[in-house]
Amino acid sequence: GKMDREHGAAESCAFVKRLDFAPSALAFDAAFASDDATKDIQGYVERA
């Protein structure tokens, strides 16, 4: 069957709001800030 868009959106929003996860300490753009993004990300993981 076809899902109602409005119902699906409300249900999805409610589901996501129930998720409890720690926010990232790393800004999204920071992962791409240098030519060596892998090194930056690895350093972040080691500090976490």
Residue 46, both tokens: 């080691």
Q: Answer whether residue 14 is part of any domain.
A: no
Q: Answer whether residue 36 is part of any domain.
A: yes
| Percentage, residues of the chain above pLDDT 90 | 21
* pLDDT given for residue 31 in this prediction: 73
Q: Answer whether residue 39 is part of any domain.
A: yes
Residue type for position 1: G
**Count of H-run helices and E-run strands, the chain:** 2, 0
Q: Answer whether residue 12 is part of any domain.
A: no
- pTM, two decimal places: 0.37
Question: Mind listing the pLDDT tens digit for each residue in 14-26?
Answer: 999 999 888 888 7
Q: Answer whether residue 43 is part of any domain.
A: yes
Please give the Cα distance from 10 to 33 (Å, whole number). 35
How many domains, the chain? 1
